[in-house]
Amino acid sequence: MRLIPALTAAALAAITVLGTGTAAHAEQTSITDKRADVLVTSFSSSDDDDYERLDAAASKKSGIDAKGVRFKHGKKSVTITAKFSRLKSGSTLYVEFYKPGRRSASFTLYGADGSSRAQVLDRDFDRACTAKLRTRNGKNGSITATVKRSCLDDMPKIRMAAAAYRFVPKGDDDITIYGDMLSSKKILTPEKSRLVAAS
């Protein structure tokens, strides 16, 4: 399942283990997602390359086809908002937070539909804190997560990347996994934002 190899496994592990506010003048940046780029695989697949890229109609029908993501870095919190053409239940938002100069994420966030809190994990996959989570399903749906800067070591500048997943049970022992890596060019890896400074 090379589709979202580490990301999918990490998201499933995190889910198993485990009023939006931001500064008025928070610095922000956005990434417009490449359309018709939803990937689908199954949890039972043993082939690293066993995934399929859906066409435009199927991507939209998947309920996780993203339009873009906005990152805001305020004085006290960081807010991530991912927007979708149509968002269905069973979604999970995944976000990576990078310190300047680091190639691997210092923190990761997992926010599952149906919960008002997202889990923020450190590099050792231990829970660092929870973040506010708001999901709005339906046409032009969105997922918004807000995490306190203190949970992210009060980093003065952050580079972020995001992905969205939708897990659909299929029978007793399988799960269909839809994934959208939010990126303007790639379909297998999420795009890192520019460095966003705290306001």
Q: Which domains does the chain have, with CATH numbers?
A: 5-197 (2.60.40)
Q: Quote the pLDDT of residue 20.
A: 37
Q: Is the pLDDT of residue 183 over 70?
A: yes
pLDDT category at 35 given cuts 50, 70, 90 is: confident
Look up the pTM and report it: 0.84
Work out whether strand 196-197 and strand 157-169 pair parallel, antiparallel, or are unpaired. Answer: antiparallel
Tell which wins on pLDDT, 174 or 78.
Answer: 78
Read off the pLDDT of each residue in 13-30 and give the average, rounded to a whole number.
Answer: 60
Cβ atoms of 78 and 158 within 8 Å: the answer is: yes
Read off the pLDDT of each residue in 177-188 and give the average, rounded to a whole number.
Answer: 95
Q: How far apart are CA 174 and CA 172, in angstroms?
A: 6
pLDDT category at 5 given cuts 50, 70, 90 is: low
Q: Is the pLDDT of residue 21 over 50?
A: no
